[in-house]
Structure 1
Amino acid sequence: MSGIKKLAGQTLWYGVPTIVARFMGYLMNMALPFLFAQPAVTADITQVYAMIPFLNILFTYGMETAYFKFSQDKDKHQLFNTISIALFTTSLVFVALLYFNKESIARWANLEAHPEYILYMIGILLFDTLSTLPFAKLRQENRPRRYAFVRLIGILLNVSIVFLFLGFLPGYVSNHPESPLRLIQQLDIGIGWYLIGNLLGSILTFLLLVKELRGFEWNFDKDLFKEVMQYSYPLIIVGLGGMVNDVLSRLIYQHVVDLPEAEAKHELGIFANVYRLAVLITIFIQAFRMAAEPYFFNQSKEEGAQKGYARVMKFFVLACCFMFLLIGLNLDFLKWIITLKSAAWGEGIYIVPLLAMGNIFLGIYYNLSIWYKLTGKNLYGAYITLIGAVITILLNILLIPVLHYLGAAIATFACYLVMMILSYYWGQKYYPVPYAKKKLISYLVLVSLIVGLHRLILMAYSPLWFSLLTGLLLLAGFVYFVSKVEEKEWKKVRRQT
């Protein structure tokens, strides 16, 4: 099987749990308008889930990528032992720091009413970090099925808890007031069950990964760890900068928007919900990264590796374009679903295409970023993400007070566009890859025009059935066009099976 098809297959396997996780999470978020009348109720967990990615970068500090890098030429057993010990030790330190500062964190995040959310967050971070290296080991060993199985079990437990205690229990207790289950309902945990479900799912996931720790020895190689840290410390900056660009708008929204607290929470709840509608793009990017990172390292020593990377980029961009159209051409249908109970949840849906295209730029940047990981020039990755972070911070502060969540969407779009361009420019200088630049840009422009044309058509006539029909026709037209343009490429892939 060709490298491209192998990568596609592994992306699918890594994508299965990712798709299920996002889809289930999306279902849980879709349920929010039916469980809670106002978007403001969701603002608190939005804050928590905006903090977790930042803290996760500190907890893992680039060890996952370092494991892929050094497993190529170091003793894998010793490498696994050394990094595992480091992650375990630093996790305990970080947990202690967060625990003893939980009140301050709750005040800063406007979570004084729910300080227990901070404790749930700490637990999620701890067990997710302990699972990091076992998951990396599965990926490095090309065991995507085992990876998918463990991920799915944890996800199913998480989702089951949420729907049991928020979807089933309230109605059951209302109809059976004498049931002992009323004691659980009286705890009034509410939306906190989302975090509890996440925590229990993380614990179960770690327990299922204990098998991957067999053979672990408490044997720490200081010299190896110094070498690993020298490689990975710029990745901490890359990761933190990436998280600034990804979640800062939601993290600071209430602090910079010029609105009373209740209205700010309302808008934050809407923005967070609308942001999730770009879910197909982010699902694919995450799944692709799971498969691509070890693939790129493993292929780096092969002859013609750069041409292979260029082909991967083309298929990646085409897949993203297809999903962009799925989202952009079905906005009316998505809006109809989320507003079945309350029209408030559909506010701001017009920013979804902007967010989706911004996330495509991010995915292309991840694809391009292999140049500095392979050449050891990780500081360039840090420079790029720091520049992106500056753009994100400035534009969010300047635009959110004026344009509200449109301003946040513009900041996301601009940040990822600049990061993509910078990574391409420096990458071609230090590790040239023959990307089909003009063709890829043409595809991105074309799908943007198609979505714009669809919105113009709907300005004249906009029933839902007509929106779906015209969207389907435009999508089919794009697929036909690409099949003709890339006909030789498809034949080449089939021959390599």
Structure 2
Amino acid sequence: MSSIKQLAGQTIWYGVPTIASRFLGYLMNMALPFLFQQPEKTADLTQVYALIPFLNILFTYGMETAFFRFHAEKNRQQLYNTLSVSLIGSTVLLSIFLYIATPWLTKATGLEAHPEYLHWMILILLFDTLSVLPFAVLRQENRPKKYAFVRVAGILINILVVIIGLGIIPSFTKDHPDHWINGLLPADIGIGYYIIGNICGAAFTWLLLYKEWKQIKFEWNGTLWKEVMQYSYPLIIVGLGGMINDMLSRLVYQHVVDVPQEQARHELGIFANLYRIAVLITIMIQAFRMAAEPFFFKQAKEEQAQKTYARVMKFFVLACCFMFLGIGLYLDVLKWIITLKSKAWGEGMNVVLLLAMGNIFLGIYYNLSIWYRLTNKNLYGAAITISGAVITIALNIVLIPKLHYWGAAIATFTCYLFMMIVSYWLGQKYYPVPYARKKIIAYLVLVTLIVLLHKGILMLYAPLWFSTLTGTLFLLLFTLFVLKVEKKDLQRLPFIGKYVQAYL
């Protein structure tokens, strides 16, 4: 259990800044309904931020995971130098290629009105990629304070620029139309300041990692690089497939839905906002992964590694269950908040529940995927992800024209359910782990029934105060149930263990 305590501690250290930075960014995105009354105004921004994750996979091509995988086996400095030189060279080449390909990308993504968004996007990709290995060094060396500072500082700069661009510059331009600063920071950029803020935050983050990238020496070990690439190239396929599963619905939505163009842009803006609410779960997943990836590789050498992975999975699923209840039981509160300025943003809110459960399946899949990473069977991971991508593409094309938001949500849910089941089955064959399968399934079914029961009650009586009160009651009852069932294991966890022991 000491290893679980170690992971819990690392998740807190690395997770809190990740949650803080992601949540600040999340709040900034959730502010869109308050800044723009019409959802279609955000469609172009949605397209750009659906494209970035795909390109991030190509720009980084599994180097971060490879760094953790080979860190214990190879000379650390030589590994860092070789991977860094590889990333720097490929980043420059890919950035040039994207710049040349901008006219084609503009047509493919429907961004003819704002081709400059794609030029700005290249700068985000460049700075983010150059920060990947320095951040990996901080995680590997257990330097959470600097990690936290850099992460949060970058997002704060991002937010500051957006506030200035959307909150201050328009009124300043109106009051001082002839001021010289209007040429430097024009008010007509509008929502584009979200991208400019991201550039500034990414550049500032890279500068704060000065000591880490200063350590890079331009030396190259071709043999080492080939070995690393043999391990990491399937991760490119895994990553791209994962991004297809995650982002494709937002990339293709307005192109496949059978409605006029303006209505399609409206629906895309709505669906992107619905997805942001469900992504609350992925914030926790991301925080967990930041600590878990290096932890899993280190733990693999221990005799009780599989039992440790099983315990980690159980607690991870429990955390996801609480997140699901937090979204499902307070969905009316979230709807009330985002529709304060315009009722249009409240369309299709029930889709969030299906998206949220799908994202839980994705989180479980991330946990399960340790089997192919540890056994060097990354091609299996690639095959699973490609299969999931085929399901995603097919269902999006077939269902979105007929079911709109629900079609995209069903595609996401089905894909992640499939990937989770197949990964579990193959993992038990090649690297068996004694997961508490029945208990995990029971928890997932229970929270789903709780949310459905809550919604059934609200069909009879649905004031916001009553929805909030009954939601809180259900959440407390589930908490007490978990504390009773998991009392022994919870008592041995850091921080919360002493409270569980004192009150139960």
Considering the TM-score relative to the shorter chain, is it more than 0.5?
yes
Secondary structure, aligned partner of 1:73: coil
Deviates more, 1:414-423 or 1:30-39: 30-39
| Within-5 A mapping of 1:276-291 | 276-291=276-291
The aligned counterpart of 2:52 is 52
The aligned counterpart of 1:19 is 19
TM-score by length of 2: 0.96
Write the distance in 2 (CA, Å) between the matches of 1:186 and 1:216. Answer: 38
What's the offset of the Cα at 1:181? 4.7
Identical amino acids, percent of aligned pairs: 67
The aligned counterpart of 1:129 is 129
Answer yes or no: is the 8 Å Cα contact 2:134–2:213 preserved in 1. yes
Q: Please tell me the residue identity of whatever aligns with 2:106.
A: A
Write the distance in 1 (CA, Å) between the matches of 2:377 and 2:151. Answer: 32
What's the offset of the Cα at 1:20? 2.4
The aligned counterpart of 1:370 is 370
Q: Please tell me the residue identity of whatever aligns with 1:140.
A: Q
Deviations 1:22-75 (A, max 9, x none): 322232223222322210010001000001000000001111100100002111
Deviations 1:167-217 (A, max 9, x none): 233234445556555545645101000000001111111111120123321
Question: Relative to structure 1, is the Cα distance of residues 470 and 187 closer, same or farther in structure 2, using a 3 angstrom cutoff?
Answer: closer
The aligned counterpart of 1:223 is 223
| Within-5 A mapping of 1:337-416 | 337-416=337-416
The aligned counterpart of 1:478 is 478
Write the distance in 2 (CA, Å) between the matches of 1:97 and 1:86. Answer: 17
Write the distance in 2 (CA, Å) between the matches of 1:27 and 1:430. Answer: 42
The aligned counterpart of 1:34 is 34
Q: Please tell me the residue identity of whatever aligns with 1:144.
A: P
The aligned counterpart of 1:7 is 7
Secondary structure, aligned partner of 1:72: coil
The aligned counterpart of 2:264 is 264
Paired positions, count? 497
The aligned counterpart of 1:206 is 206
Write the distance in 2 (CA, Å) between the matches of 1:494 and 1:11. Answer: 12
What's the offset of the Cα at 1:494? 5.9
What's the offset of the Cα at 1:386? 0.6
Answer yes or no: is the 8 Å Cα contact 2:11–2:290 preserved in 1. yes
Question: Where does the alignment leave 5 or more consecutive residues of structure 1 unmatched?
Answer: none
Secondary structure, aligned partner of 2:492: helix
Answer yes or no: is the 8 Å Cα contact 2:40–2:265 preserved in 1. yes
Write the distance in 2 (CA, Å) between the matches of 1:35 and 1:277. Answer: 17
Question: Relative to structure 1, is the Cα distance of residues 9 and 168 closer, same or farther in structure 2, using a 3 angstrom cutoff?
Answer: farther
The aligned counterpart of 2:333 is 333
Answer yes or no: is the 8 Å Cα contact 2:165–2:187 preserved in 1. no
Deviations 1:200-248 (A, max 9, x none): 1111111111201233211100000010011011101000000000000
What's the offset of the Cα at 1:299? 0.7
Write the distance in 2 (CA, Å) between the matches of 1:165 and 1:233. Answer: 40
Write the distance in 2 (CA, Å) between the matches of 1:228 and 1:177. Answer: 56
Secondary structure, aligned partner of 2:31: helix
The aligned counterpart of 2:421 is 421
The aligned counterpart of 2:232 is 232
Secondary structure, aligned partner of 2:433: coil
Q: Please tell me the residue identity of whatever aligns with 2:320.
A: C
Write the distance in 2 (CA, Å) between the matches of 1:90 and 1:182. Answer: 37
Secondary structure, aligned partner of 1:13: helix
Write the distance in 2 (CA, Å) between the matches of 1:262 and 1:493. Answer: 53
Secondary structure, aligned partner of 1:219: coil
Write the distance in 2 (CA, Å) between the matches of 1:479 and 1:168. Answer: 44
Write the distance in 2 (CA, Å) between the matches of 1:46 and 1:7. Answer: 35
The aligned counterpart of 2:443 is 443
What's the offset of the Cα at 1:14? 2.2
| Within-5 A mapping of 1:82-231 | 82-175=82-175, 181-183=181-183, 186-231=186-231
Answer yes or no: is the 8 Å Cα contact 2:9–2:494 preserved in 1. no
The aligned counterpart of 1:77 is 77
What's the offset of the Cα at 1:86? 0.5
Deviates more, 1:358-367 or 1:16-25: 16-25
Write the distance in 1 (CA, Å) between the matches of 2:274 and 2:344. Answer: 11
Question: Where does the alignment leave 5 or more consecutive residues of structure 2 unmatched?
Answer: 499-504
Secondary structure, aligned partner of 1:421: helix
